Amino acid sequence: MATPPKGRGAATASSAPTPPRPRPRPPRATWSGCVLRRAGRDGQGGGGGVCGALVETISSFKPGRYQSSLMPAENKPLEMNILKRVKELLAEVDAKTAAKHITKADCMVARILGVTKEMQRMMGVGFGLELLTLPHGHQLRLDLLERFYTMSIMMAVDLLGCTGSTEERAALLHKTIQLAA
């Protein structure tokens, strides 16, 4: 009968070495269905709990409630006076200033700027850019597309509408190109 070798690594049946325990890993943020699970600040999972992200089904745009100093309360679509006033404003304002204003409004619609803690809680994420990538960000994607289409229709109506001379329309086209650049 052969005897087991003695020395390092030799083990008997009564004193079998136990494998080292793996270190516990803190839970990561995971997306599961409509619930966002987040670990607490201490890494143990207790602080954050479960945050339910609300799924928006209604557009954030409320055209019936919109008020502007440019439009009277009883405005008609494509009213000639409003189109002329918009053209005048675009002609008066520096293209860089207008571009900054439009970009700021876009960032607010996309929930990049002006996001409160309550909005973050309701969205389930920190900013709108994250929300755009998630399934429950569908309405935000639709709102951004609606804003893009509305802006492009407004520019097309201003450029192609018969509300000015060819020179005025050429100047508006030039300003539009400057806005886009």
- 109 or 82: which leads in pLDDT: 109
Q: With contact defined as beta carbons under 8 Å apart, do 123 and 111 qualify?
A: yes
What is the pLDDT, as a whole number, of residue 42?
39
* pLDDT band, very low/low/confident/very high, at 181 (cuts 50, 70, 90): confident
CATH of the domain at 141: 1.10.840.10
Q: With contact defined as beta carbons under 8 Å apart, do 134 and 125 qualify?
A: yes
Q: Which residues make Cβ contacts (< 8 Å) with residue 111, sequence separation at least 6? A: 119, 123, 127, 128, 131, 140
Q: Which of 30, 22, 75 is nearest to 51 (CA)?
A: 30
Task: Write phi, then psi, for 51 (nearest 5 degrees).
Answer: -110, 120
Q: How far is CA 40 from CA 29, 119, 126, in A?
A: 10, 20, 16
| Cα–Cα dist 115/59, whole Å | 17
What is the pLDDT, as a whole number, of residue 28?
37
What is the pLDDT, as a whole number, of residue 104?
92
**Highest mean predicted confidence (pLDDT) among 4-8, 23-27, 75-79, 128-132:** 128-132
Task: Give a yes or no: residue 92 inside a domain.
Answer: yes
Question: Residue 82 sits in which domain range?
Answer: 58-180
What is the pLDDT, as a whole number, of residue 36?
36
Number of domains in the chain: 1
| Number of helices and strands in the chain (H, E) | 6, 3
What is the pLDDT, as a whole number, of residue 34?
37
Task: Give a yes or no: residue 77 inside a domain.
Answer: yes
Q: With contact defined as beta carbons under 8 Å apart, do 112 and 128 qualify?
A: yes
Task: Give a yes or no: residue 3 inside a domain.
Answer: no
Q: What is the pLDDT of residues 144-168, one digit of tens each?
A: 999 899 888 888 887 887 667 888 8
Task: Give a yes or no: residue 152 inside a domain.
Answer: yes
pLDDT at 55 over 90: no
Percentage of the residues of the chain whose pLDDT score is greater than 70: 69
Task: Give a yes or no: residue 35 inside a domain.
Answer: no
| Cα–Cα dist 110/145, whole Å | 11
Task: Give a yes or no: residue 44 inside a domain.
Answer: no
Q: What is the pLDDT of residues 114-127, one digit of tens each?
A: 889 998 888 888 88
pLDDT at 44 over 60: no
Task: Give a yes or no: residue 124 inside a domain.
Answer: yes
Task: Give a yes or no: residue 125 inside a domain.
Answer: yes
Q: Is the pTM of this model over 0.75?
A: no
What is the pLDDT, as a whole number, of residue 35?
37
pLDDT at 3 over 80: no
What is the pLDDT, as a whole number, of residue 30?
34
